[in-house]
């Protein structure tokens, strides 16, 4: 799987650990920046980079980092085809994929430590959408909302 990763300056301190966790699982990284803590980078720019990678088929999943994870999540969810969630526990990281077809994991570098990053990334990337009728029904309703219905 190709995983697009991007962060703003506040998310940068956790980015190396995210990249390491992805590669340890045998996945390919599409590193969309930022590549240094300075100059400051705005989280909507990081969200757009990951969202476009998903929309264009250059990646199958994405991980966004900012200070809290919230700003990046809000911005990412404005993009068609992106279903992003802030997940700072392993249950949400896998359950969001299994039940809601989450395709972008948002993490807050100022909220979680490196050891938790090493648990969240695998939980998210190993998870698969269940395809159960109730989850498909709910996902279709979310997709209808996205289309403006």
Residues 105-148: tens digit of each pLDDT: 999 999 999 999 999 999 999 999 999 999 999 999 999 999 99
Output the domain CATH number for residue 108: 3.40.1400.10
Structurally, how many domains does the chain consist of?
1
List the domain range (segments joined by +) for residue 52. Answer: 2-146
CA dihedral 61, 66, 71, 75 (to 10 degrees): -40
Q: Which residues are catalytic?
A: 66, 99
Q: What is the pLDDT of residues 62-116, one digit of tens each?
A: 999 999 999 999 999 999 999 999 999 999 999 999 999 999 999 999 999 999 9
- pLDDT at residue 149, as a whole number: 80
Pair 64, 50: CB distance under 8 Å: yes
| Beta bridge partner(s), residue 84 | 104
- pLDDT at residue 110, as a whole number: 97
- pLDDT at residue 131, as a whole number: 96
């Amino acid at each position: 799987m190709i995983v697009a990763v991007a962060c703003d300056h506040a998310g940068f301190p956790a980015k190396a650990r995210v990249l390491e966790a992805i590669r340890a699982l045998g996945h390919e990284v599409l590193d969309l920046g930022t590549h240094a803590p300075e100059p400051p980078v705005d989280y909507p720019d990081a969200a757009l980079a990951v969202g476009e990678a998903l929309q264009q088929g250059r990646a199958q999943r994405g991980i966004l980092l900012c200070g809290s994870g919230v700003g990046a999540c809000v911005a990412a969810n404005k993009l068609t085809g992106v279903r992003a969630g802030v997940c700072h526990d392993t249950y949400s990281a896998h359950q969001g994929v299994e039940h809601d077809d989450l395709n972008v994991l948002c993490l807050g570098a100022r909220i979680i430590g490196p050891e938790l990053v090493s648990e969240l990334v695998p939980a998210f990337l190993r998870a698969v959408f269940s395809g159960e009728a109730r989850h498909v029904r709910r996902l279709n309703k979310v997709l209808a909302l996205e289309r403006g219905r």
